[in-house]
Copies of this chain bind each other. A is one copy, B any other.
Amino acid sequence: MPQGKPDVVPDDGLTTRQRRNRPLTIVHTGVGKGKSTAAFGLALRAWNQGWPVGVFQFVKSAKWRVGEERALRVLGDSGEGGTVAWHKMGEGWSWVQRSPESNEEAAREGWAQVRRDLAAQTYGLYVLDEFAYPLHWGWVDTDEVVEVLRSRPGTQHVVITGRNAPAALVDAADLVTDMSKVKHPMDVGQKGQKGIEW
């Protein structure tokens, strides 16, 4: 079990308090399950801290994340923890009036909004769900993302999920977990199941 003790004492000129509140860039990548579910698990902790949580869902699927979305909306509306804002590319981002001409354009619009929110310090935690795909495909420029994340103000944490996270993003991130598939029911013919896949 992790003991919460660092391996080395850093020589970074920061106080312990500053280090405690350092904004983290977190990446969940790899071909195994659990990348997004772990990100939404992190959202529970952020909600519990009273932080505003912003979810940007960079996927198009009616079925995906319905459970997480409903749960986080109930939590956000409970008045007990932080607020939750849920933004979906699949149905057209709510702040964009017209329909985007392509998934590529939609992904870019999503990133542009994330960038504006980071500048405005809108959220305490950003869940950029499946954002690794538009980066991997080159729809959104990874170098620009890295630069925006590096220079973001305040203590905003960002978690990015998806297979094939670009190397430059992994290099720039503070915490990277690779979810490796050891075994999956689909290997032996099992289809996706409610409560498990969605």
- Whether A170 pairs with B196 at a CB distance below 8 angstroms is no
Residue of B nearest to A30 (CB): B180
A90: interface (CB < 8 Å): no
A13 at the interface (CB under 8 A from B): no
A150 at the binding interface (Cβ < 8 Å) = no
**Is A196 touching B74 in the complex (CB atoms < 8 A)?**
no
- Residue of A9, A51, A67, A174 with most partner-chain B CB within 10 A: A67
Asked whether A71 is an interface residue with its Cβ less than 8 Å from the other chain, the reply is: yes
Chain B nearest CB, measured from A46 CB (Å): 5
A125 at the interface (CB under 8 A from B): yes
> At the interface, yes or no: A1 with Cβ under 8 Å from chain B?
yes
- How many A residues, CB 8 Å from partner? 84
Among the listed B36, B70, B189, which residue makes an inter-chain contact with A7, where contact means beta carbons less than 8 Å apart? B189
Q: Which residues of B contact A36 (CB under 8 A)?
A: 41
Is A122 on the interface with B (CB-CB < 8 A)? no
Whether A40 is near chain B, meaning CB under 8 Å from some CB there, is yes
Q: Give min CB distance, A10 to chain B, whole Å.
A: 3
* Complex CA–CA separation, A160 to B185 (angstroms): 16
- Do the beta carbons of B74 and A78 come within 8 Å of each other? yes
Given contact pairs A7-B186, A24-B193, A71-B81, a sample of 15 additional A-B residue pairs in the complex whose CB atoms are under 8 Å apart? A1-B163, A2-B192, A4-B192, A5-B191, A6-B188, A8-B188, A39-B41, A45-B195, A45-B196, A45-B198, A49-B67, A170-B182, A174-B183, A176-B182, A177-B179
